[in-house]
């Protein structure tokens, strides 16, 4: 069945242009297509291969060498298909083939061997020669490499993929094989942001990005359905109807490729490009390079030999949106007004007027509360950091806690719903042990796509080195002195260890005691940071909150954790503290999720100061909370999960109730200020129940309590 025609796709003009620019100039660096499901992302990418110009290749070369300019380091060159194919007095090859550009698809479950290549087992076992079998990177050379759901690939595979795309070369050093071959291809990745985000370092490696959404115009949607139904009814007739349009696009791409080397980038436009990148405060220099290459390709596509301002502006809209985002909760895209201003000023050798510093002394404003505007210079990298205990205490007096246990009539929205502080990079919180859940980026797990850490008897895959080692001692007894003889008992399969995604369940105290001393802004900022971390590590996330007389499931477990961020921002605070209700609600969520996804282990993060002032079953809230903690601990243990209690208590006199809650849960105990990545010197191990540090904290708390009672 012929593929859906490239020119028959309705709409998606930005995506079509981005794909064409990369077809003209692979140095642009590929296209990342982000969008909701069902928006023809895969359809248009697969259709692109049909309009790419045909290739001349050296006949029999596994690496698709160009006869006019063969790769000098091609593994098939000196002793393979290239030998005897070269004309005696020219640099061209007489034995050539012409074929369409290849579309190579990288599946989500691919291994490193499949991507970069591995030993040719047939030759190794038959003749003992360590021969190389090319992988998908070699197959995609001079063609199109398509990665659907690129955000679901293992990080090390994405690293290998993007390194090859950036350098145009793949280096393979593994199991006695040392190979270098050309790997220049048009890289296209698609992803649904609801299923997780790429790490910023990998996101930046894609040259262009396009956000795709389904049209809201009924007439355009009707045309999409009309064409799709016609294609499904008679694919050959539909493709034939659009063949002329596709051929015209292919001819235009070929002409633009020929024109591209003669296109010039004037200094005025280069300064405009660098000015725009500086105005949007993108990191590094890759944005400047990609924008310049894309603008040059745009000029060639338009048939011009000089880059103009309109080319620069269009290139910026494709090259900058994914680089200006600081975290996944930021809205994608560019501010058009800011871009217009940068276009006007980008070619001037001057800095925009900086905003005045309202706090030259660096004290964070009145009271040093560490609010959203006070974290501009808190660390060696000038990044936002979690507020310290002293910052949390500075905004209120020690008598305000009990006074705020109940909501105040007529309180303003700002008093009842605090704005989160700026997110920060959190330390890695992991589930203990080794799981078997879905692939992710958080906790250790046995997987089919991770790195090999050992071998065992079996046939699910082949661990070549272990198999040969098992067979080698038996060769004399088997009567052979050259070729290797294998028996079924020699076969070994790899044991692979990768990472899994977890269920990160936040249990958040939103009572009046958390609102005291204006702590909730810092607490929300910390939870937002943990949500961001869950987003990037492909975890499911859920949010349980408790305040007043009950607990509620504010966000059922989902991959769309930006919805959790929205709930968190609007979360009101006030009322009494039904700690037992919150813990029981969390246990119920784990019970339901165990039925839905039994292999996904939970990481339960309880954010509280440990106080309990409301109980539904008795007049002793603290006793009810301890019973609920024991029930939740059993639920977590049943699914091999891990619990962490984030202690939000502050002030000169602390009751240590959160530490006691951690002991009842069998959980790790962390102070709120210890969530940042730069506090790793205080390891989680130090906070386990029964550790010397926790015993010291409890002894100090007990002494303070006895002294207060005596007074």
**How far is residue 204's CA from residue 284's CA, in Å, rounded to a whole number?**
9
**How far is residue 654's CA from residue 207's CA, in Å, rounded to a whole number?**
52
Residue for token pair 């089919």: 448
**How far is residue 154's CA from residue 112's CA, in Å, rounded to a whole number?**
10
Residue for token pair 């975890």: 539
Q: Which of 473, 29, 526 is nearest to 292 (CA)?
A: 29
Phi, psi of 552 (to 5 degrees): -145, 150
**How far is residue 164's CA from residue 141's CA, in Å, rounded to a whole number?**
10
Question: CB under 8 Å to 351, separation ≥6 — which residues?
Answer: none
Q: Determine the distance from the C-alpha atom of residue 343 to the mean position of all C-alpha atoms in its chain, rounded to a whole number.
A: 31
Burial (Cβ within 10 Å: 0-12, 13-18, ≥19) of residue 698: middle
User: How far is residue 521 from each of residues 421, 485, 563, 667, measured CA to CA in Å?
Assistant: 6, 69, 18, 25
Question: CB under 8 Å to 511, separation ≥6 — which residues?
Answer: 405, 546, 547, 548, 573, 574, 575, 576, 577, 578, 611, 613
**How far is residue 593's CA from residue 604's CA, in Å, rounded to a whole number?**
13
Strand pairing category for 55-58 and 668-671 = unpaired
Burial (Cβ within 10 Å: 0-12, 13-18, ≥19) of residue 147: buried
Q: Which residues pair with 443 in a beta bridge?
A: 500
Choosing from 286, 601, 626, 654, which is the catalytic residue? Answer: 286
Q: Which of 442, 418, 426 is nearest to 600 (CA)?
A: 442
Q: Which of 672, 665, 661 is nearest to 698 (CA)?
A: 661
Q: Which of 560, 537, 541 is nearest to 439 (CA)?
A: 537
Q: Copy the structure tokens of residue 115.
A: 């991507």
**How far is residue 501's CA from residue 431's CA, in Å, rounded to a whole number?**
10
Is residue 286 annotated as part of the catalytic site, yes or no?
Answer: yes
Q: Copy the structure tokens of residue 544.
A: 């349980």
Overall residue count recorded for the chain in this entry:
711
Decide: helix, strand or coil at residue 69: coil
Please say whether the beta carbons of 493 and 460 come within 8 A.
yes
| CB < 8 Å & 24+ apart, contacts of 555-561 | 556/589, 557/503, 557/505, 557/589, 557/593, 559/194, 559/195, 559/196, 560/194, 561/531, 561/534, 561/535
Catalytic residue IDs: 286
């Amino acid at each position: 069945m012929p593929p859906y025609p490239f020119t028959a796709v309705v709409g998606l003009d930005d995506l079509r242009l981005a794909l064409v620019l990369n077809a003209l100039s692979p140095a642009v660096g590929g296209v990342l297509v982000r969008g909701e499901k069902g928006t023809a992302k895969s359809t248009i990418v697969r259709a692109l291969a049909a309009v790419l110009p045909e290739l001349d290749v050296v006949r029999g070369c596994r690496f698709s060498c160009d006869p006019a300019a063969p790769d000098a380091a091609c593994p098939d060159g000196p002793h393979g298909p290239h030998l005897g194919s070269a004309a005696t007095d020219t640099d061209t090859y007489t034995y050539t083939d012409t074929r369409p550009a290849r579309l190579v698809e990288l599946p989500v479950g691919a291994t490193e061997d499949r991507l970069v290549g591995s030993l040719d087992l047939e030759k190794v076992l038959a003749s003992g020669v360590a021969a190389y079998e090319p992988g998908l990177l070699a197959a995609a050379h001079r063609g199109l490499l398509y990665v659907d759901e690129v955000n679901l690939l293992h990080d090390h595979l994405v690293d290998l993929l993007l390194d090859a795309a950036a350098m145009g070369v793949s280096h393979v050093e593994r199991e006695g094989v040392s190979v270098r071959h050309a790997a220049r291809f048009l890289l296209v990745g698609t992803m649904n942001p609801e299923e997780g985000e790429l790490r910023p370092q990998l996101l930046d490696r894609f040259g262009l990005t396009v956000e795709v959404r389904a049209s809201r115009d009924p007439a355009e949607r009707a045309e999409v359905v009309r064409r799709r139904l016609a294609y499904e009814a008679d694919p050959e007739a539909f493709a034939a109807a659009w063949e002329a349009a596709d051929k015209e696009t292919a001819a235009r791409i070929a002409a633009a490729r020929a024109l591209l080397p003669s296109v010039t980038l004037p200094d005025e436009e280069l300064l405009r490009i660098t000015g725009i990148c500086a105005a949007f405060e993108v990191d590094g220099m890759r944005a400047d390079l990609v924008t310049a290459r894309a603008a040059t390709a745009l000029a060639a596509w338009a048939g011009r030999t000089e880059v103009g301002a309109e080319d620069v502006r269009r290139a910026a809209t494709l090259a900058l949106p994914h680089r200006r985002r600081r975290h996944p909760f930021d809205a994608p895209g560019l501010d058009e007004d800011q871009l217009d201003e940068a276009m006007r000023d980008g070619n001037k050798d001057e800095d925009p007027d900086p905003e005045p510093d309202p706090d030259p002394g660096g004290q964070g404003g009145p009271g040093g509360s560490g609010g959203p505007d006070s974290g501009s210079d808190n660390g060696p990298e000038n990044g936002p950091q979690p507020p310290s205990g002293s910052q949390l205490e500075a905004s209120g007096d020690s008598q305000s806690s009990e006074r705020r246990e109940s909501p105040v009539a007529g309180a303003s929205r700002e008093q009842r719903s605090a704005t989160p502080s700026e997110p920060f990079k959190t330390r890695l919180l992991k589930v203990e042990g080794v799981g078997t859940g879905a692939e992710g980026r958080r906790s250790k797990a046995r997987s089919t796509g991770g790195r090999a850490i050992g071998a065992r008897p079996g046939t699910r895959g082949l661990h070549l080195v272990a198999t040969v080692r098992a067979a080698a001692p038996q060769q004399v007894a088997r009567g052979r002195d050259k070729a290797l003889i294998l028996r079924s008992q020699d076969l070994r399969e790899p044991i692979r260890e990768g990472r899994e995604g977890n269920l990160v369940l936040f249990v958040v105290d939103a009572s009046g005691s958390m609102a005291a001393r204006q702590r909730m802004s810092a607490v929300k900022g910390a939870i937002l940071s943990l949500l961001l971390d869950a987003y990037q590590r492909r975890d499911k996330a859920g949010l349980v909150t408790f305040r007043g007389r009950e607990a509620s499931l504010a966000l059922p477990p989902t991959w769309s954790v930006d919805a959790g961020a929205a709930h968190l921002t609007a979360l009101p605070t006030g009322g009494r503290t039904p700690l037992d209700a919150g813990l029981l609600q969390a246990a119920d969520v784990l019970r339901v999720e165990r039925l839905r996804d039994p292999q996904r282990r939970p990481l339960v993060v309880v954010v509280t100061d440990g106080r309990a002032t409301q109980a539904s079953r008795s007049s002793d809230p603290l006793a009810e909370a301890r019973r609920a903690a024991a029930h939740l601990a059993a639920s977590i243990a049943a699914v091999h999960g891990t619990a962490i209690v984030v202690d939000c208590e502050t002030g000169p006199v602390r009751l240590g109730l959160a530490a006691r809650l951690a002991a009842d849960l069998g959980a790790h105990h962390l102070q709120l200020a210890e969530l940042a990545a730069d506090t790793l010197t205080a390891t989680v191990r130090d906070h386990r129940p029964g550790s010397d540090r926790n015993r010291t904290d409890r002894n100090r708390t007990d002494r303070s309590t006895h002294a207060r009672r005596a007074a």
